[in-house]
């Protein structure tokens, strides 16, 4: 990889300090942390050809315009490479109420993006949710903890003699890896978050309330979409592991 990058037009005028294969890898790409001229980048070698990479890149750019993902820098179709800015933040497997609210705000921004695409067809029996009105939006469809970055640190407020820690940063959570993005019912993404982060009872209600704010919501629909999501995950792992 580093030999390819040294001759790539994007890095040609930069001194590559390091190129490290990331420890946590997905199933669709090889991911590298590249440091060049002291600047960090994420370089993704695209592995699968059954994914619409043009649509993925389009969604990435639209999401960046909303401030909810890394800046997309290069899409090299010939060499199957994408280059992004490096995101500061951390992955979490358990969320508090503030983090749930930040994530809900990010999802609302993603779901507000207008895009010309047909709803995706879930490769599983969805008769359980056909009784509900369709609420089609642009969904991420793969909101596992490794695809979500949470802000790190505290906000400090100066005082006369010292500084005072006043609260968590309110920077938005950010999403990565839009390979599976597509038009879907918003409750699919909501169910995905609830399953992946183990949100039950009160915490599930907090998340749903933060997302819908004053809009009507259906806890019953959420529960049924959680069943759909779990079944889809089980089928995916059976076919890909």
All residues at 6 or more sequence positions from 12 whose CB lies less than 8 Å from its CB, including other chains: 6
Q: Please state, in angstroms and rounded to a whole number, the distance separating the CA atoms of residues 112 and 80.
A: 29
Q: Please state, in angstroms and rounded to a whole number, the distance separating the CA atoms of residues 181 and 59.
A: 7
The architecture in CATH of the region 97-240 reads: Alpha-Beta Complex (3.90)
> Which residue's entry shows tokens 């639209």?
62
Of 169, 159, 175, give the one whose Cα is nearest residue 107: 175
Tokens standing for residue 116: 């010309």
Q: Please state, in angstroms and rounded to a whole number, the distance separating the CA atoms of residues 136 and 139.
A: 8
> Which residue's entry shows tokens 């590559």?
16
Q: What is the pLDDT of residues 72-117, one digit of tens each?
A: 999 999 999 999 999 989 999 999 999 999 999 999 999 999 999 9
CATH code given to domain 2-85: 3.30.200.20
- The per-residue pLDDT string of the chain (241 residues; one tens digit each, 9 = 90 and over) reads 888 898 999 999 999 999 999 987 778 899 999 999 999 999 999 998 899 999 999 999 999 999 999 999 999 999 999 999 999 899 999 999 999 999 999 999 999 999 999 999 998 999 999 999 999 999 999 999 999 999 876 555 555 555 544 454 556 899 999 999 999 999 999 999 999 999 998 999 999 999 999 889 999 999 999 999 999 998 877 776 5
> Which residue's entry shows tokens 């199933």?
27
| 69, 99, 147, 179, 194 from 174: Cα distances, Å | 5, 12, 8, 15, 17
Q: Please state, in angstroms and rounded to a whole number, the distance separating the CA atoms of residues 40 and 205.
A: 38
DSSP 121: -
List the end-to-end C-alpha distance of the chain, in Å, as a whole number. 26
Residue boundaries of the structural domains of the chain: 2-85, 97-240
Q: What is the pLDDT of residues 52-62, one digit of tens each?
A: 999 999 999 99
The pTM is what? Answer: 0.90
Tokens standing for residue 1: 């990889």
Query: Could you tell me if 104 and 210 are in contact, meaning their C-beta atoms sit under 8 angstroms apart?
Result: yes
């Amino acid at each position: 990889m580093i030999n390819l990058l040294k001759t790539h037009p994007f890095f040609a005028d930069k001194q590559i300090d390091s190129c490290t294969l990331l420890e946590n890898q997905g199933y669709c790409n090889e991911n590298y942390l590249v440091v060049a001229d002291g600047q960090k980048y994420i370089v993704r070698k695209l592995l699968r050809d059954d994914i619409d990479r043009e649509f993925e890149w389009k969604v990435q750019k639209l999401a960046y315009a909303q401030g909810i993902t890394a800046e997309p820098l290069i899409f090299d179709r010939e060499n199957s490479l994408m280059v992004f800015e490096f995101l500061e933040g951390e992955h979490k497997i358990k969320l508090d109420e503030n983090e749930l609210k930040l994530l809900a705000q990010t999802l609302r921004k993603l779901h507000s993006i207008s895009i010309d695409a047909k709803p995706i067809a879930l490769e599983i029996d969805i008769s359980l949710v056909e009784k509900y009105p369709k609420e089609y939006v642009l969904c991420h469809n793969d909101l596992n903890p490794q695809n979500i970055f949470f802000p790190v640190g505290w906000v400090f407020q100066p005082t006369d003699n010292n500084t005072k820690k006043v609260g968590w940063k309110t920077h938005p959570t950010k999403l990565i890896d839009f390979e599976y993005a597509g038009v879907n019912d918003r409750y699919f993404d909501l169910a995905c978050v609830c399953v992946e982060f183990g949100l039950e009872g009160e915490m599930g209600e907090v998340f749903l309330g933060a997302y819908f704010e004053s809009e009507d919501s259906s806890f019953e629909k959420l529960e049924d979409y959680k069943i759909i999501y779990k079944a889809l995950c089980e089928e995916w792992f059976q076919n890909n592991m």
